[in-house]
């Protein structure tokens, strides 16, 4: 709806400009609506996703922003007619905003996510404490952790390592992976997970220094899935600890949390190595 109204508003203003005859208004109008399309609207949609705004709420805000842009043009028409430099300034702002949108997309979105309190929860992880079990080190992923001694190590056909545990009908499969240099920010990845799930998804996101992390919990039929996602904005290092539970028990939850709490992030130098992520794990 907002896109249709935006196109309609641009057409109406184009007709009005043709009738008005102000030659400086055309570049000003194109610049202002260009700023809206390439910068303002994407930011509104991103913020709406961050705060879980309803689709109707998002459309109303987009419509309001279009009307505000139209109103600014109408009010500024006499000023632009007498001061052509205003039109030039709008064109410059449009160029800067467009370049910023494409060149600094992830830093801008991270700033917005931090400003909206998306990562405002207290850190989930405590300092690593001694845990009985086996040490797992992923050099490509840049992390190490401890898994319970009774979790059996397996090798996927792709070469990726994972762990499996079964006891009295309870089943756990643990898949440690990484996804460095992702084109998406962590909130966008979480949003994609939420859209793919038929059932309600819970998230717990927090930040420590320039590290951001989210623990996602969701159900997929009889299976419950936990995904701990970690992102380091300094070097674009990204980690996923993926747990699949069948007939989950309190003890299974405690084991999974112990694995997450044992995770230590290792220092990595650029360029980051690639990660092995089997397609059937997604």
pLDDT of residue 131: 56
Alpha helical stretches, state H, the chain: 2-20, 25-35, 41-50, 55-82, 85-103, 105-115, 186-196, 250-261
**Residue 21 in tokens:** 């005859």
Which sign does the torsion angle of CA 86, 89, 95, 100 carry? negative
How much is the pLDDT for 265? 86
Query: How confident is the prediction along the chain (282 residues), in pLDDT tens digits per residue?
Result: 545 655 666 666 666 665 566 677 778 888 888 888 888 888 999 999 998 888 888 888 888 888 888 788 778 777 777 787 888 888 899 899 889 888 899 999 999 999 999 999 988 755 555 457 888 988 888 899 999 988 999 888 777 889 999 888 889 999 998 888 888 899 999 998 888 876 778 899 999 888 899 999 988 777 899 999 999 888 888 999 999 998 888 888 888 998 998 888 888 777 566 676 665 565
How many Å from the N-terminal Cα to the C-terminal Cα in the chain?
A: 33
CATH 3.40.1000.10 residue window(s) in the chain? 134-281
User: Cβ-count burial of 190 within 10 angstroms (0-12 exposed, 13-18 middle, 19+ buried)?
Assistant: buried
Q: Which fold has domain 134-281?
A: Protein Transport Mog1p; Chain A (3.40.1000)
What gap in Å lies between CA 29 and CA 22, rounded to an integer?
A: 11
Q: Report which of 232, 233, 188 is spatially closest to residue 45, judged by C-alpha positions.
A: 188
């Amino acid at each position: 709806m907002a896109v249709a109204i935006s196109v309609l508003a641009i057409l109406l203003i184009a007709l009005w400009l043709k009738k008005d005859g102000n030659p400086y208004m055309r570049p000003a109008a194109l610049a202002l609506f260009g700023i809206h399309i390439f910068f303002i609207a994407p930011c509104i949609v991103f913020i709406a996703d961050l705060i879980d705004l309803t689709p109707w709420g998002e459309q109303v805000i987009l419509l309001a922003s279009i009307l505000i842009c139209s109103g600014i043009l109408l009010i500024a028409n006499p000023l632009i007619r007498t001061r052509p430099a205003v039109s030039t300034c709008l064109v410059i702002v449009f160029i800067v905003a467009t370049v910023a949108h494409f060149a600094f997309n992830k830093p801008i979105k991270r700033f917005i996510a931090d400003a909206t309190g998306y990562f405002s929860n207290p850190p989930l992880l405590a300092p690593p404490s001694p845990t009985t079990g086996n040490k797992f080190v992923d050099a490509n992923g840049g992390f190490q952790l401890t898994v319970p001694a009774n979790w059996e190590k397996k090798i996927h056909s792709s070469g990726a390592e994972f762990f499996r545990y079964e006891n009295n009908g309870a089943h756990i499969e643990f898949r440690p992976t990484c996804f460095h240099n992702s084109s998406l920010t962590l909130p966008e990845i979480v949003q994609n997970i939420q859209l793919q799930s038929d059932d309600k998804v819970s998230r717990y996101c927090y930040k420590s220094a320039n590290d951001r992390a989210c623990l996602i919990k969701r159900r997929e039929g009889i299976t419950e899935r936990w995904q701990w996602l970690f992102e380091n904005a300094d070097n674009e290092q990204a980690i996923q600890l993926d747990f699949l539970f069948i007939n989950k028990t309190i003890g299974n939850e405690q084991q999974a949390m112990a694995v997450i709490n044992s995770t230590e992030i290792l220092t990595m130098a650029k360029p980051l190595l690639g990660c092995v992520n089997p397609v059937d794990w997604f």
